[in-house]
Structure 1
């Protein structure tokens, strides 16, 4: 007798799909592959949407110039007038190379960590309690960051340099390796991980908590797309604000080779920034732009992931992908 496939939605609840003639291990591989594909697509869409703002934020983060919304949009306008519209997406190819595997690994590992923690804490097939929910997000973000960090370094270098300096992604890797050493590709790794732990944990936790509260209040199993966007925006706003100073520190350390500054340690970098620029104007430089781009990026990412995963689940139900 054929049995339905059991998968877990984003709240950890069990969903039963109709019977399939496919072996269970094949269906399990499909579920993991679906999550990887949906995560990669979600990350690509979200980052492309906010790429000009992201590039501008990085440029301010690694400089000592005072940040303001007026100066940020003046920089965008001057870049557009000098180098053309596509220059606003400079470094986006490196971003795609990094963000697609990063998002794929993060979303896929998040699903796996939820299942693992659900079994460990005795909540298999149920909504995880707050602490495991927070832990699953932190572990997912840490796993993705560890596996894709050199690509983040390359993306930061391409964002803050003229196009004459680095012609493409491989050129960045080769020049950094030859001129500064392989270890430079991991400069800023520690503040990245320290920032990812609260950021990813709080972001996933907030999004899933809002979805859980929505289900309890409305009795609808799934939010509408605009509700998902709002939940993702709230998650991004809270998550990025909590870890932003470490984001500034890692950018300074990543780009030290091209800005001429000596940023060797986390505390040393923080001390230099605070001494020269102050706490708010230094460690939180560009945060107001993050309040614009961060919620948009996270909202688009989570919504795209949910909707594409729902679409693939429906296609599986309808009998597609049977070979």
Structure 2
């Protein structure tokens, strides 16, 4: 009997069961590595997408912000005059003033947003039983809203800095760090989060509808065309539609947050969301105030969002192909 137990122990030490445990551990390790690589790919692709898109429309974006935070009446003609006067006075590259602050903000923002969207899609897909497939409409909307909220919460002070640099002369703030230091010293640290509430309220419909529209159009395209992947120009068109719908839905809150962010340098004392809205409407009206610059956004927004979504998708595809060809670490 003793020899039987010894034989069993001997057989265990020789590893009749151990290979199964080792195999299981290797599968878990492989899945963990695969997930980590997916997250890193999403972060890199999102960062690149945000940088390319925002740089492409930076002059229009800066012009829109200047009109948003002033009481001057907006028109396409006045926007063109502002761009031209800026070019004559400060040179061509002045049209990208504040873009360095935009990059400091948009690179982490876009990286977090796109990566979070992929993770929320995976989590919601597992919960609803749609893992690896297109999500149903409600989870699709929820994934986009949660991704935008996550990114906005983590990067908001950078958005404040970018707005300040866009509407002030270069003599006022020499660089990004100077903006942080001067705001903290002269207006208090809490100023860095002024306009945070309308930002979150605005980003929920904006990000939700943007991602929802883009994912929905890709799904419908696949069903109608029989092609799993749309062409690049089709991705741009889908992204443009997504940007148009998302930004139009959340635009008044975008105006409010800009007014609140720049109150310290424009002479206003905007305090609450409703108070800011009432003051804007009283001075400028609903359409000319809360929707000021929207027509420019209909040009800038679809271009930026289309470039952003397309760059993200194509970079993801490229990284997967490079991995399959053995150019990236396994």
Interval of TM-score (by shorter of Structure 1 and Structure 2): over 0.9
Q: How many residues align?
A: 304
- Counterpart position of 2:318: 311
Which residue among 109, 114, 122 is the counterpart of 1:107? 114
Give the 5 Å matches for 1:194-273: 194-273=201-280
Give the 5 Å matches for 1:51-200: 51-200=58-207
After superposition, what is the alpha-carbon deviation per residue over 1:76-121, rounded to whole angstroms, capped at 9, x for unaligned?
A: 0000000000000000000000000000000000000001111112
- Counterpart position of 1:300: 307
**2-side partners of 1:94 and 1:23: how far apart?**
39
Give the 5 Å matches for 1:19-58: 23-58=30-65
Which residue among 282, 287, 291 is the counterpart of 2:298? 291
Consecutive unaligned residues in structure 2, runs of 5 or more = 1-26
Query: How high is the TM-score relative to the length of structure 2?
Result: 0.91
Consecutive unaligned residues in structure 1, runs of 5 or more = 1-19
Query: How high is the TM-score relative to the length of structure 1?
Result: 0.93
Q: Alpha-carbon deviation of 1:23? A: 2.9
**1-side partners of 2:237 and 2:30: how far apart?**
38
Greater C-alpha radius of gyration: 2
Secondary structure, in 3 states, of the residue corresponding to 1:23? helix
**2-side partners of 1:313 and 1:25: how far apart?**
17
Q: Hey, which of these two has a bigger chunk of helix by percent? A: 2
After superposition, what is the alpha-carbon deviation per residue over 1:201-246, rounded to whole angstroms, capped at 9, x for unaligned?
A: 0000000000000000100010000000000000000000000000
Q: Alpha-carbon deviation of 1:30? A: 1.0
Q: Alpha-carbon deviation of 1:307? A: 0.5
**2-side partners of 1:235 and 1:25: how far apart?**
33
